[in-house]
Amino acid sequence: MVMELDFASSVPIYQQIRNEIVQAVANGELADGDRLPTVRALAQEVGINTMTANKAYQLLKQEGYLMTDRRNGASIRCAGNPQAVGGKIRKELGLLAAEAKVAGITKEAFLDLCCQAYGRESHI
C-alpha cells in the first residue's frame, strides 16, 4: 500500500495515516487479517518519527480497525467500533451538510454525493 501524505497539510500526519488505512480497507486494498508494517518500518518507509506512526496505530486500535499482537504485530480488523465511529461521523456529516446547504447544494445533490462517496451510484 502506497500512502500519499501531505507534509504541508494542516491535518496531522498521524491522522493522514489513519485516514489512508481506513480508505484502503473501504476500497478493498486491505482486507480483514492483513498485516501492517511494524511501527518502526512504517515510520522509516514514509520518513516520519516512530511516535507519529505509533499514534496512528493507537488511534486505529482505539476505533476498532486494528488488532495488535506481540508475536504477529498489527493487522486489519474490518469490523470497526460503531459506537466510537458513529458519533464522529454524525458530527462531521452534519458539518458537511451545513456547508453544502450554505453553498446552495440541494438535499438531493448532497445525498447523491454521499452515495458516490460510499460507493453506490445514486440514492434514487
* Side chain identity, residue 48: I
pLDDT by residue (tens digit) across 23-50?
A: 899 888 999 999 999 999 999 999 999 9
CATH label of the domain that carries residue 70? 1.10.10.10
- 102 and 69: one domain? no
What cell was used for 11? 491535518
Q: Tell whether 58 is covered by a domain.
A: yes
> CA 69 to CA 117: how far, in whole Å?
33
> CA 63 to CA 84: how far, in whole Å?
6
| Phi and psi torsions of 17, nearest 5° | -65, -45
Decide if 50 contacts 40 (C-beta within 8 A).
yes
- 42 and 89: one domain? no
Lowest mean pLDDT among 33-42, 51-60, 61-70: 61-70
Q: Tell whether 3 is covered by a domain.
A: no
Residue 60 has pLDDT above 70, yes or no: yes
Task: Please state the pTM of the whole predicted model.
Answer: 0.72
